Amino acid sequence: MKRAFIITIGLLFTLSTFAQTGYKVGDMARGFELKNIDSEMFSLRQFKSAKGYVIIFTCNHCRYAKAYEDRIIAIDQKYKKLGYPVVAVNPNDSTIEPDDSYSKMIERATEKGFTFPYLLDADQSVFKRFGATKTPHVFVMSRGDEGLKIEYIGTIDDNYADASEVKVKYLENALDALLAGEKPDPNFTKAIGCSIKYKKD
């Protein structure tokens, strides 16, 4: 009985450890290379003068993600020239969510006039490594001598329904802090989003 208890606790611990995978603020991160909508492989290194990156896991089908498209374009236009370009990554399996297929990504990006790379996480390894759980889900990384560092994880702002009613721009505040040589505060926020669609093992 005692043994069973210990095994159960051990198992629960293991499970919760698995559940906690993914980057946390302060972690060093690895870059990635994924296929962009222009059919070319895109690597973060291609933004040569970047001080960091705004990685946004987003997609076509999710209404919360759609509601943020215009805001993401505006953020890219404002912060790319300051050194923090947006890199959008679609993490969804299109066999589960057909609206998130590669061709639909091209259609959507063209229709909306995306100003940033829109990449397909085809083998779904990048979102798992980052620990993204939903769309949209933002990870801001800074680029320094020691590599890429996670500086902010969370939401874009405090109103998913109406951009004109936003009171706190969490992502922009984080980027402004980094540009001023400070640490984002808060550096971790949450938002309602669409679960990422992947096949369970």
Q: Which residues bind another protein (CB under 8 A)?
A: 19, 61, 63, 67, 97, 133-134, 137, 154-155, 158-162, 165, 167, 170, 189-197
Least gap, CB of 83 to another protein (angstroms): 26
Using the minimum distance from each CB to another protein, give the nearer residue, 82 or 96.
96
Q: Which is nearer to another protein, 67 or 177 (CB)?
A: 67
Nearer to another protein, 50 or 72 (CB): 72
> What kind and span of H or E run contains 108?
helix 102-112
Residue from 64, 34, 46, 26 nearest 149 by CA: 26
Q: How far is the CB of 145 from another protein (least distance, A)?
A: 32
Amino acid 53 reads Y
Q: Which two tokens stand for residue 171?
A: 């992502």
Judged by beta carbon, residue 44 or residue 156, the one nearer another protein is 156
CA nearest to 185, candidates 67, 25, 73, 55: 25
Peptide bond into 186 cis (omega under 30): yes
CB of 88 to another protein, least distance (A): 18
